[in-house]
Amino acid sequence: MKTNLLFVRRHAPAVFLTWAMVLCVSIAAFATTYYVSPLGNDASGTGTLANPWKTLKKATTSVTAAGNIIHLVAGTYTETQSSSLATGVSIEGEGFASTLVVSSITGQWSTLLTLSSGQDTNGNQSISGISFDGQYVNETTNKTWIAIWITGRSNVVIHDCKIINFRDRGVIFDGNDATDPHSDPGHYATGNKFYNNTVLNSAANTGNYGAGLVNIGGQLGMEIYNNTLVQDQRANFKNGWPIKYWDEGWLKGVKIYNNTLTKAPYVGSYPGENGDWDFAIEFFNIQGIEIYNNTIQGSIDLNYNRKGSYAFTAWIHHNTLNHSTLNSNFESGIILEFRTESIIIEDNVFNNVCSGVQFNTRGVANTGGNNPESPAPAGGYSVLSNNIIRRNLFSNVYQGNGVGTAAGITVISEGTDDPQIQGLDIYNNTIVAKSGDAPWIGIDFTSMGAATASGTNINVRNNVVVGFGDAWLKGTSGAGNTHINGMVVTHNDAYSNGNSNAPSWPGGNPINYTANNNRTLNPMFVSATNFALQAASPLIDAGVNVGIPFVGTAPDGGYKEFGSGALPIFLVDFTAKENNGKNLLNWNTASEINSDYFTIERSTDGRNFSSIGRVNAAGFSSTETTYSFTDASPADGKNFYRLVMTDRDGTFEYSKVVVITNKKNGSISFGYVNLSASSGSASIIINSSKSQPATLSLIDATGRVVLNNPIQLQAGMNTISKNIPALPGGVYYLRLFTSDETIVKNTVAR
């Protein structure tokens, strides 16, 4: 909501409700909005629109009643003291492009805005429409450490904000008041959300620890979506992570979706050099996490992975993990550390990574220093149980410089060689090595050499693995060291790999080993960058039914069914721009196989989408195809768009979400206003684009409603004359609202 003291301001009817609560002071049960302005005065201000305060510090100190709102008028604020926001009080700006809070607070762990309560407190509040700047320039020239720190509160929402240039961290969501809880804290914040925000250059790596742009701990059901989180602006080894756990994590039912996350390319020669890693997301102690539809530069690192009462520990799907420019140093995709159970990794695209999915187990008693469970669970921290990796594309997998085990999918044991695999399904993946820098192994089980290592119920089916130097599938070296009893390797296609495209078992074949119907044929991809199958591919209908939907008589080999599957269309780009009140959508496809049509969907909240149009697709194309669509009637404010790309057999896939903000073209305006204090009359000219009912109100500077009358507007110019009570001279506010919009104009009675 924006209020301009000099000009008429239009805003949406829903936002008008806040005006009504503020101005209709006779309804005491409604919330009150208090105002802050760069031209205000903390000493003499009262927090009214006519006499606002000057600083956020003054406002947060003065406004403590739950339900009230602190409104920052557009402008730039310089804050020299930390502010503490009371429970239930919200802060709103007039958009992060126009409302800027610059923090000059200094000192270790200095925080611009704190929301702190005992655990299990219902915050029931929001922060929106503001830019926060912590004035970080470099390691020696900087001001404030943290932008917003939330402790113990539930139902806190931060949205449509921009957070930049804080030294250490952007935002902390801490669900409980225990520091470093070494066991399940038992208290979780619920209902917290962080969406439609941009966070830049606000996560440190000190060498002793790495911080996050967004840090979360003790959260149940938190949602992080539609954000842009970028940390690549600092010197080598000084960039933190986009999303990071806090206080050992303890995260349940958290959802991370529709975000763009960018971590600086890794520059170290070994993992953890100078305290740095390649993580874009790092979580500890998780249950029921869902990570989907994100574009990520950097890796996802998950530790202490137990499903608890959830159907899965983590469901990671429909993400793109990609470095648009290949990094010469080692980069990872998804890293699963310590014990891991019931992980589902499906329908992701990994490009320009050294390891696609890697399980980093530890010894039975090796807690990594965090002791998340006492006593240790059966099998300790080497157990990998009931994990699924399916329908993923791993393209341009490369060896890279430095320390690291490069492979499409690999099991790594840190120091003990004793992974205990109790159910692992690797189905319908396409794994393609980078020509000229190929790793040695495509699917790697070579870290199972200890006598305590074991593997049961391992299934490798319907995969396509191309271009690895040693073998497409390999076990541990040394006679008798295979340590797998119960393995099925069928209907895979290995092409242009070492060991004559055969699996390699230097320690001997697994016990109860089934290997049949595997091929060594050219899969016939569409191109060197498009790993869908051509119509003549020998892998069409060449797989075995593993419970994944398929077209034809059997599944195809690899991650995508010919003429169907999770990616019917290879989308290059999807953009939106405003032009004279209309939104122009443009998208390109690199290729299409059996495509049918695009459905264009729009949302105003980024979550609930509805169809606004349809464009027919090319059907079959191996060259770039361009499409466009015009939304002639976008909603006021943010418009979120996505494409539903539908194949001819009805299967479909969603595109990324793009967002654009539209300003409403008003249908009403004030042409002339004259208030006579002496005669008690008001003369008003109102312009209206159409015939419509409206309500006209006159409010004095204290919020008292002097006049409140329904009127009928006709299309064109309307001359309104009203008798009003005798008025003292001064500033008044004339408010006109219809079912579509509200405008407010200040005027002076003489």
Asked if the bond preceding 375 is cis, omega within 30° of 0, the reply is yes
Distances (CA, A) of 148 to 37, 119, 133, 430: 21, 17, 11, 43
Higher pLDDT, 680 or 430: 430
Write down the residue that tokens 């310089």 correspond to: 78
Nearest to 386 by CA among 337, 342, 336: 342
Residue 501 and residue 440 share a domain: yes
- Burial class of residue 98, CB neighbours in 10 A (0-12, 13-18, 19+): middle
Is 121 a member of any domain? no
- Residue 8's pLDDT is 31
- Residue 627's pLDDT is 94
- Residue 7's pLDDT is 29
Nearest to 45 by CA among 37, 744, 24, 66: 37
Find the angle CA(158)-CA(161)-CA(166) to the nearest 5 degrees. 100
Distance CA 617, CA 631 (A): 18
pLDDT in tens, 49-59: 999 999 999 99
State whether the Cα torsion 330-336-339-342 is positive or negative. Answer: negative
State whether the Cα torsion 606-612-615-616 is positive or negative. Answer: positive
Last residue of some domain: 518, 548, 578? Answer: 548
Residue 674 and residue 647 share a domain: no
Residue 402 and residue 336 share a domain: yes
Residue 528 and residue 439 share a domain: yes
Is 304 a member of any domain? yes
CA neighbours closer than 13 Å in the CB half-sphere of residue 168: 20
CATH number, domain containing residue 740? 2.60.40.3080
Last residue of some domain: 548, 577, 605? Answer: 548
- Residue 23's SS3 state is helix
Among left, alpha and beta (phi > 0; psi -120 to 50; other), residue 730 is left
What percentage of the chain carries pLDDT values higher than 70?
Answer: 92
- Asked if the model's pLDDT at residue 694 lies above 60, the reply is yes
Highest mean pLDDT among 81-90, 176-185, 685-694: 81-90
Quote the DSSP letter at residue 342. S
Q: Are strands 131-133 and 111-128 parallel, antiparallel or unpaired?
A: unpaired
- Residue 14's pLDDT is 35
* Residues paired with residue 631 on neighbouring β-strands, in sequence order: 583
State whether the Cα torsion 630-632-636-642 is positive or negative. Answer: negative
Is 131 a member of any domain? no
- Burial class of residue 311, CB neighbours in 10 A (0-12, 13-18, 19+): exposed
Higher pLDDT, 324 or 48: 48
When pLDDT is averaged across residues 182-197 and rounded to a whole number, the result is 92
Is 147 a member of any domain? no
- Residue 6's pLDDT is 28
- Asked if the model's pLDDT at residue 611 lies above 50, the reply is yes
Q: Residue type at 511?
A: I
Tokens at residue 78, please? 């310089």
Write down the residue that tokens 């979400």 correspond to: 657
**Single pTM value for the model:** 0.76
Residue 688 and residue 639 share a domain: no
- Residue 372's pLDDT is 67
Report the chain's mean pLDDT, rounded to a whole number.
88
Write down the residue that tokens 């130097």 correspond to: 469
Is 476 a member of any domain? yes
Distance CA 22, CA 293 (A): 40
When pLDDT is averaged across residues 215-230 and rounded to a whole number, the result is 97
Write down the residue that tokens 């059901």 correspond to: 221
Confidence of residue 392 (pLDDT cuts 50, 70, 90): very high
Residue 415 and residue 281 share a domain: yes
- Residue 322's pLDDT is 92
- Cα-Cα-Cα-Cα torsion 585, 590, 595, 596, nearest 10 degrees, comes to 20
* Cα 130 to chain centroid, rounded: 19
Phi (first) and psi of residue 606, to 5 degrees: 80, 5
Higher pLDDT, 678 or 636: 636
pLDDT in tens, 469-480: 999 999 998 888
Query: Buried b / exposed e across 439-466, counting CB within 10 Å, b at 16+?
Result: bbbbbbbbbbbbebbbbbbbbbbbbbbb
Residue 576 and residue 517 share a domain: no
Q: What is the number of other CB atoms lying within 10 angstroms of the CB of residue 359?
A: 26
Whole domain around residue 722: which residue ranges?
Answer: 670-749
pLDDT in tens, 151-162: 999 999 999 999
Say which residues have a Cβ less than 8 Å from residue 234's Cβ, sequence separation at least 6. 138, 139, 201, 204, 264
Nearest to 227 by CA among 272, 149, 171, 168: 171
pLDDT in tens, 574-601: 888 888 778 999 998 877 777 889 999 9
pLDDT in tens, 655-674: 888 888 776 556 788 877 88
Q: What is the total count of domains within the chain?
A: 3
Tokens at residue 659, please? 């967002």
Q: What is the number of other CB atoms lying within 10 angstroms of the CB of residue 208?
A: 6
- Residue 319's SS3 state is coil
Do the Cβ atoms of 334 and 364 come closer than 8 Å? no
Among 82-96, 141-155, 385-399, 623-637, the range scoring the smallest mean pLDDT is: 623-637
Confidence of residue 631 (pLDDT cuts 50, 70, 90): very high
Of the chain, the end-to-end C-alpha distance in Å amounts to 29
Confidence of residue 341 (pLDDT cuts 50, 70, 90): very high
Q: Residue type at 289?
A: I
Is 652 a member of any domain? yes
Do the Cβ atoms of 368 and 249 come closer than 8 Å? no
Query: Buried b / exposed e across 655-683, counting CB within 10 Å, b at 16+?
Result: bbbbebebeeebbbebeebebebeeeebe
- Residue 690's pLDDT is 83
pLDDT in tens, 231-268: 999 999 999 999 999 999 999 999 999 999 999 999 99
Distance CA 490, CA 557 (A): 11
Last residue of some domain: 620, 637, 662? Answer: 662
Residue 678 and residue 655 share a domain: no
Residue 610 and residue 522 share a domain: no
Confidence of residue 402 (pLDDT cuts 50, 70, 90): confident
- Residue 35's pLDDT is 97
Distance CA 749, CA 725 (A): 12
Residue 536 and residue 591 share a domain: no
CATH number, domain containing residue 616? 2.60.40.10
Nearest to 243 by CA among 290, 304, 299, 163: 299
Distance CA 559, CA 574 (A): 23
- Residue 127's pLDDT is 98
Confidence of residue 646 (pLDDT cuts 50, 70, 90): confident
- Residue 723's pLDDT is 80
- Residue 380's SS3 state is helix
Is 656 a member of any domain? yes
Residue 595 and residue 525 share a domain: no
Distance CA 279, CA 263 (A): 7
Higher pLDDT, 451 or 463: 463
Do the Cβ atoms of 727 and 677 come closer than 8 Å? yes
Nearest to 232 by CA among 273, 275, 262: 262
Residue 347 and residue 322 share a domain: yes
Tokens at residue 318, please? 């429909």
Is 741 a member of any domain? yes
